[in-house]
Structure 1
């Protein structure tokens, strides 16, 4: 990077944003000022601008995390990633192998959003589209995501978003939900056993980054008349194998 370019305001802002997003847990303004050779006052001024524009938000722990604008940019950029064709080929193969619709979703704040989906054309199925939201407390992927964050935060989110039962097995008691999160965290995947809709079951597998942080959920759902939970357990190895391939495709440079 040339000295002239490194001192221009747009480049400085982008470099600061990159440093924060790559390692928010260890971020300090002093570290970035030293690493990028930028005055500390300038660092604070640019961070304030990024927060004002909602590219960053300050968390309760005084760390800066991606704001809604960054998350929306990421969500809308995913369909155009360089490995789009490779990623979809893995999803299509999994769909053909298990004979069910498969989906990829990403956490966006307190929501989980579908961003890719390959349909298996059964006459009866749940119609969800890219951009649709999943309930965190009642879907396999939602529960999987909550199991990946701090337990106290997950339970607070549950208390804030839980609604009257939408299906016969929807979990509405916090003690039961706590047990469910512990179980999911231990086994590494999650089921939906008629918790979102009556007559529907689902399975979700995490896709993590190099820091083992959940970034995507690979899931399938089906009518219980076609597959029950025991049947979903049988396709677990295929789901796990596909998740490993997708991880390589999604995080490939």
Structure 2
């Protein structure tokens, strides 16, 4: 999950002190601090927030990095949630008590539009299918929960990139390959950057047979009330069934569903408490 470009957050977040004698307690406290901060942090900030020494904080962070629970920001070297924790969070939330609340939102989209619907969450250069409902087509592409999606050639992935700050976007693009998956995949960095400028203005991501030949898609962002990008909501179809122009006609319906998802996710503590 990322901040919308230009959004700022409080510089510090405090939590109860970590258990002095429990390594597990310190690990959980670091993760809680990162979740509350919603930004990359320094070892010094972790030390202060958890009320432990800097040497203790360094040891805990180093151990969590080895286990892929934490990673470093490519530009600032500050600490971020790692891929292992991000995957675990998706799996846990997918089985949480609020799934019956968000799943009907996607199901309703599929019934209204007649196209496959997905919600993708992002962490650094990784996009992961958080939930997906297939349209009733015998030839529909079936990508399961937890599948990874490329950023440079999917509607949601490009929308995510377009909402990053310029430095972070460049850092991510420096670290991924613009692999050609179809004849229409954009593999030129300059051309992709120009496309992302348009997407940033419209807040609509598109995939015109760039990921899979014969498939088109549109995506809208799901923002929290604090302008944090929670993920992207997309519908895709075989071009022979619904072309890109007709899919764009469903953008108001997608935005309505996006707002519903944002309300559900922001209410989660209240619902499960």
What TM-score, normalized to structure 1?
0.87
Q: Is the 8 A contact 1:191 1:202 kept in 2?
A: yes
Instruction: Decide whether aligned partners of structure 1 residues 24 and 221 sit closer, same or farther in structure 2, where only a CA change above 3 A counts.
Output: closer
Write out per-residue CA displacement over residues 178-211 of structure 1, whole angstroms, 9 at most, x where no aligned residue. Answer: 1111111111120111222332210111123454
Instruction: Decide whether aligned partners of structure 1 residues 46 and 157 sit closer, same or farther in structure 2, where only a CA change above 3 A counts.
Output: closer
Match of residue 163 from structure 1: 179
Larger Rg: 1
Q: Provide the C-alpha distance between the structure 2 equivalents of 1:139 and 1:6, rounded to a whole number of angstroms.
A: 44
1:7 to 20, 25, 40: 20
Q: How does 1:12-31 map to 2 (within 5 A)?
A: 12-23=26-37, 25=39, 27-31=41-45
2:264 to 228, 231, 249: 249
Structure 2 spans left out of the alignment, 5+ residues: 1-14
Q: Provide the C-alpha distance between the structure 2 equivalents of 1:88 and 1:162, rounded to a whole number of angstroms.
A: 32
Q: Is the 8 A contact 2:16 2:50 kept in 1?
A: no
Number of positions where the alignment pairs a residue of Structure 1 with one of Structure 2: 251
Structure 1 spans left out of the alignment, 5+ residues: none
Greater helix share, structure number? 1
Q: Provide the C-alpha distance between the structure 2 equivalents of 1:62 and 1:173, rounded to a whole number of angstroms.
A: 28
Instruction: Decide whether aligned partners of structure 1 residues 106 and 2 sit closer, same or farther in structure 2, where only a CA change above 3 A counts.
Output: closer
Instruction: Decide whether aligned partners of structure 1 residues 171 and 86 sit closer, same or farther in structure 2, where only a CA change above 3 A counts.
Output: same
Instruction: Decide whether aligned partners of structure 1 residues 135 and 27 sit closer, same or farther in structure 2, where only a CA change above 3 A counts.
Output: closer
Match of residue 89 from structure 1: 104
- 1:223 positional shift: 1.4
Q: Secondary structure at the match of 2:120?
A: strand
Question: More relative contact order in 1 or in 2 (CA 8 Å, sep 6+)?
Answer: 2
Write out per-residue CA displacement over residues 137-177 of structure 1, whole angstroms, 9 at most, x where no aligned residue. Answer: 1111111122122335434544641123x334221222211
Q: Does 1:46 align with 2:60?
A: yes
Match of residue 121 from structure 1: 136
2:248 to 230, 233, 244: 233
1:57 to 32, 49, 71: 71
